[in-house]
Amino acid sequence: MPGPDIGSPFGSGTFLLIGRNRHASLQSTAGHETRKLRDTKGRVAKKLRISVTDRCNFACLFCMPEKEKVKWIPQEEILGFDEVERITRVLASLGIEKVRVTGGEPLLRRDIEQLVRRLTSIPGIRSLDMTSNGWHLERKAEALREAGLRGVTVSLHSLKSERFAKISGVDALPRVLRGIDRALEVGLSPVKVNSVAIRGYNDDEILDLVEYARERRISIRFIEFMPLDGLGMWSYDKVVGGKEIIDKVSEKYPLRPQGRGTAETSALWKFVDGRGDLGLITPMSDPFCDDCDRVRLTADGKLLSCLFDTEYYDLRHLVRNGGTDEDLAVSILNAVWKKPEGVGHMPWIKDGWAKPRNMNAIGG
Ligand code: SAM
């Protein structure tokens, strides 16, 4: 089998692999002129999720561990904006076209709009979106729009104040809703809502959340609960599967299936009456790894080719120790080359008996 597209006018490079195989190194080989982020299954990465911080002012029970048990990334290990920009430039030169900024909570990062501006001006980056808990959105939406942010996805798991506080750890529902309204007002587009439906916690609110989204003509996405939670509360019986959601919603609001676009995370359903759409993100009941085109950069500069992978590639080490852009490119190409086949091939994830890390530390 041929290797990754490491062809380089500069000859060989090395990369750091941390995880199952600590500090393995690979030599690059001469080869193709146009290099792509291709993996052994022929998938080509085009999208990048950047976690800009592992900190969050919420403590969603399906995401964060108990606050006192969180091992925060030391501040000095978090990438600076120059470092994020540099790595993104290299990734863009290898074919990354779309970026989503996430966290932790990305709006906790001071002057985040400056990073947004810098990333949107990188040649090859066609769009930049953000996933946020909405807490700072009312205040930040306009500056983010001006800096070039395209759209925002806000996590909203309940429309009942008390329950929202119980799930997220903060009594913040009205403020988050104002943030969503402000995002719409300033013209961020698309504005979407993400909900994780968990049996026994908020599954009785699926229709309410749908109605909230329909009234505002915003897209709602239901994400199946994944075993990446910090409290260890995940079990398969708490997962509300995509099919169940569609059955429930379509009883009241008929839906027409649109399918899942190539490399999209969600299968789309349009409301027959034309009032918006609903997406299902089904990593547990119907994984969509076969055409996955995403890579992730953690706040401390690790490249992950898969949300569930246990291996990561330490780009920060290269950036801070004199690595050239070519060294970075070689590491990235190798990391993507070894992308796992998918969650369907990871019984330890599917059955919930081991997890690589908590969601806040990866960037969802
Ligand atoms: N702080 C931001 C937010 O609240 O949206 C961005 C980070 S958060 C980790 C990104 C997304 O991951 C959110 O929509 C959240 O609901 C989702 N998420 C977190 N833990 C999850 C889990 N265990 N299963 C499924 N989705 C999860």
Q: What is the pLDDT of residues 130-148, one digit of tens each?
A: 999 999 999 999 999 999 9
Give nearest CA residue, ligand 1 atom 12. 364
Task: For the chain, give the percent of residues with pLDDT over 90.
Answer: 75
CB atoms inside a 10 Å sphere around CB 75: 8
Q: What is the pLDDT of residues 37-47, one digit of tens each?
A: 999 999 999 99
Q: For residues 53-77, give the mean pLDDT.
A: 90
Pocket of ligand 1 from Cβ distances under 6 Å: 56, 62-63, 102-103, 105, 131-133, 155, 194, 196, 223, 225-226, 228-229, 359-360, 364
Question: Which pLDDT value is given to residue 345?
Answer: 76
Mean pLDDT for all residues in the chain: 89
Top mutation candidate among 130, 136, 152, 196 for ligand 1, by most atoms within 8 Å of CB:
196
Q: Which residue owns the Cα nearest ligand 1 atom 4?
A: 133
What's the burial of 338, exposed, middle or buried (CB within 10 Å: 0-12/13-18/19+)?
A: middle
197 CA from centroid of ligand 1 (Å): 11
**pLDDT for 170 beyond 50:** yes
Closest ligand 1 atom number to CA of residue 51:
7
Distance 225 CA to ligand 1 centre (A): 9
Question: pLDDT tens-digit profile of 82-112?
Answer: 999 999 999 999 999 999 999 999 999 999 9
Distance CA 194, CA 89 (A): 29
Going from the Cα of 339 to the center of ligand 1, the distance in angstroms, rounded, reads 22
Per-residue model confidence (pLDDT) at position 31: 42
Which pLDDT value is given to residue 271? 97
CA of 102 to the centre of ligand 1 (A): 9
Atom of ligand 1 lying closest to residue 62 CA: 23
Ligand 1 centroid – CA 60 distance (Å): 8
Mean pLDDT is highest, among 22-26, 162-166, 282-286, for: 162-166
> Residue 7 has what pLDDT?
53
Give the confidence band of 182 by pLDDT, cuts at 50, 70, 90: very high
Tell me how far apart the alpha carbons of residues 77 and 71 are, in angstroms, rounded to a whole number.
Answer: 13
SS3 210: helix
Interacting residues of 9 by C-beta distance below 8 A, sequence separation 6+ = none
In this prediction, residue 229 carries a pLDDT of 84
| Residue 16 confidence (pLDDT) above 70 | no
Beta bridge partners of residue 193, listed in sequence order: 154, 220
- Tens digits of per-residue pLDDT, 226-259? 988 888 889 989 999 999 999 999 999 999 999 9
The pLDDT of residue 68 is 80
Check pLDDT > 50 for residue 24: no
Output the residue whose Cα is nearest ligand 1's atom 10. Answer: 364
